[in-house]
Structure 1
Amino acid sequence: MAWLSRPLTVIGLVILAHGCYSAHEHTVLSSTSVQHPTSPSATSLPLDIYIETIAATLLICLGLVLGSGTPEPIQWHTWAGKIEREGDSTSGDADKELRSNPFNALEARSGFINISKLRSDFVKYQQLGK
């Protein structure tokens, strides 16, 4: 469907540009013509311009969605399994083992520091020295 996405997007952009130009022309013409300021035709755009811009926006969105690639997995375990099987090519010169395990950063980090335990160990150390 990639062959269909670009023409749809281009056609949508052309229609959107025409809708914008039509809205601009309507605004310019309505501001220069002599009309009663409270008439609704002096302040609002015609319905066909609204329909044209909405249809163009939908065509552009459809063309962009059809032209997008396959989505990447959003579940962590699916992504991690893919990285472990294929390896991550974004890390450059890193070792294959370091690249292939996405959990290495979590496994290699140090745990929380227990200040109370460190303080009691230090007190015991000081008492042994005396």
Structure 2
Amino acid sequence: MAWLSRPLTVIGLVILAHGCYSAHEHTVLSSTSVQHPTSPSATSLPLDIYIETIAATLLICLGLVLGSGTPEPIQWHTWAGKIEREGDSTSSDADKELRSNPFNALEARSGFINISKLRNDFVKYQQLGK
């Protein structure tokens, strides 16, 4: 659908620019013309400008949605399983092994330091040296 998304987005942007220009032109012309100050048409935009702006916004949104790729899975385990089965296609061969399992970074990191255990080991080491 990429061939359809770009023209829709461009057409929507052109129509939106025309709607913005029309709104600007209307406000400039209504401020310079002599009208009765209590007239509601002196301050409000015509309905066709509103419709043009809304239609252009919908066309732009439709073009952007059609142009987007397939969504990636949201759940971590689904993504991790897919990466483990297929491997990461964006990485080079050198770090393919590191990237093939998304949990490698969690499994390879050092844990928390247990200060009490280290102190006890040090005390035992000192007692052996005496």
Could you state the TM-score of these two structures normalised by the residue count of structure 2? 0.85
Q: CA–CA distance in 1 between the matches of 2:120 and 2:39? A: 84
Separation (CA, whole Å) in 2 of partners of 1:85 and 1:128: 51
- Matched residue SS, 1:12: helix
Tell me how far apart the structure 2 counterparts of residues 69 and 101 of structure 1 sit (CA, whole Å): 24
For residues 11-44 of structure 1, give each alpha carbon's deviation from its aligned partner in whole angstroms, at most 9, with x where no partner exists: 2122111101100101110121123445433332
Q: Tell me the secondary structure at the aligned position of residue 55 of structure 1.
A: helix
Q: Deviations over 1:32-80 (max 9, x none)?
A: 1123445433332222211210111001101111122211222212211
Moved more, 64-73 or 52-61: 64-73
Distance of aligned partners of 1:37 and 1:119 in 2 relative to their CA distance in 1, 3 Å threshold: farther
Unaligned runs of 5+ in 2: none
- Of the structure 1 ranges 75-84 and 59-68, higher mean CA displacement relative to structure 2 is found in 75-84
| RMSD between aligned residues | 2.0
Q: Residue 29 of structure 1 corresponds to which residue in structure 2?
A: 29
Work out the CA distance in 1 between the residues paired with 2:30 and 2:126.
90
Q: 1:100 and 1:126 mapped to 2: Cα distance? A: 44
Q: Percent of aligned positions with the same letter in both sequences?
A: 98
4+ residue stretches of structure 1 with deviation over 6 A? none
Give TM-score, length-normalised by structure 1.
Answer: 0.85
* Residues in 1 aligned to 2:63 and 2:105: alpha-carbon distance in whole angstroms: 40
Q: What is the SS of the residue equivalent to 2:34?
A: coil
CA distance in 2, matches of 1:73, 1:47: 42
